[in-house]
A and B are shown apart, each in its own frame.
Chain A
Amino acid sequence: MKKAIKHTWVFDQSPEIVWEYLTNSDLLAMWLMKNDFQPLKGHKFMFLTKPMPDFGFDGNVHCEVLEIEPCTKLSYSWKGGPGDGTFNLNTVATWTLEAVGNGTELKLEHSGFEEHNAFTFDIMNKGWEVHIKDRVTKLINERAHEAGKK
C-alpha cells in the first residue's frame, strides 16, 4: 500500500512558466480548482471542490502556504473536514520543480495519509487472518457435526 501519493511530470516549458501555473490564482483555477491563493508564506487560502459527504468532506480544502521558494519549491497544508471546523483530512501537498534540459520536471507529493494507511494496512492483514481462521473453524465444526451424525 502506498505511503504517499507521488506524481512526476515533465514539461517542455521552463520552471519559470510552470511556476506561474502553480502560483497564479487565475491560472490555478483553470487547471486545478477555484481558489484564493497568494504566493506568500503563511497565507491562508481555500480550494473549492465537490463535497464528498460519505467521507465527511464538505468540498472546501483549507490550505496554508508552508514553504515557498520561487521556481523551485512550493508546499501547502491540505486540510478537509465536514464543515464544523474540525479536520479529519490533515495532509500536505508539496511541489518541486527542477530544470531538465530546456524543460521542467515537476514533482508532486501529497503526504499525510501514512499514519492511516499503515494502520489500516496492519488491521487488514491481521483481520483477514482471523476471518480465514473463522471460516476454517466453521468448516471443521460442520465436518465434526456431520461425522457425529453418522
Chain B
Amino acid sequence: MKEHMKQEKSDPFMALADPSRRYILQLLTKDNLTINAIAENFDMSRPAVSKHVKILCTAGFIAIEDIGRERYCKLNQAGFKDMQTWIDHFDSFWESKLNNLALMLKAHPKSRKS
C-alpha cells in the first residue's frame, strides 16, 4: 500500500466551491472508490473527474491509495480539520481584536457629558 499525492496544498474553500467536487466527497462517504467508479456517477469524461480528484487531493480532502492494481480514493481527515482551523482562526481573531478595543475604551472617558 502506498500513499500518493504529497504536493503543494491548494486551498480548501476553493476545492469545495465546485458542486461536482462536493458530490465526489459525498460519494466517498459511502465507500472508497476508484476514479473509474467515481466517473460512472458523472456525465463528464474520466480525465475531467481525475482533475477534480486531484484538486480535492491537494486540498487534503481525499487521499489516494494503491490496493493491488487499483488506485482508490478515500476521505482524508486532514482537509476537514483545516476547514475547522480556518473558522476557529476567525473566532480567536475577533476575540483578541475585541480585547484590544476593550483596552482602548477603558482609557476613554465614560461618556461625553461627564
Hey, which chain A residues are within 8 Å of B10, CB to CB? 56
Interchain CB contact under 8 A, A17 and B112 = yes
Digitize A3-14: 1 where CB-to-B-CB distance is under 8 Å, 0 elsewhere.
001010101111
Digitize A48-84: 1 where CB-to-B-CB distance is under 8 Å, 0 elsewhere.
0000101111000000000000000000000000100
Interchain CB contact under 8 A, A56 and B108 = no
Q: How many residues does chain A have at the interface if contact means C-beta atoms less than 8 Å apart?
A: 44
Residues 60-82 of B contacting A (Cβ, < 8 Å): 75, 77, 80, 82
Give the distance to chain B from A40, nearest Cβ to Cβ, in Å. 22
Interchain CB contact under 8 A, A54 and B13 = no
Given A82-B11, A108-B98, A123-B80 in contact, is the A13-B87 Cβ separation under 8 Å?
A: no
Interchain CB contact under 8 A, B13 and A5 = no
Interchain CB contact under 8 A, A5 and B87 = yes
Residues 80-129 of A contacting B (Cβ, < 8 Å): 82, 86, 88-89, 102, 106, 108, 110, 113, 116-117, 119-120, 123-124, 126-127, 129
Interchain CB contact under 8 A, A88 and B11 = yes
Say yes or no for B9: interface residue by CB 8 A criterion.
yes
| Residues in chain B within 8 A of chain A (CB atoms) | 9-14, 16-17, 22, 25-26, 28-32, 75, 77, 80, 82-84, 86-87, 89-91, 94-95, 97-98, 100-106, 108-112
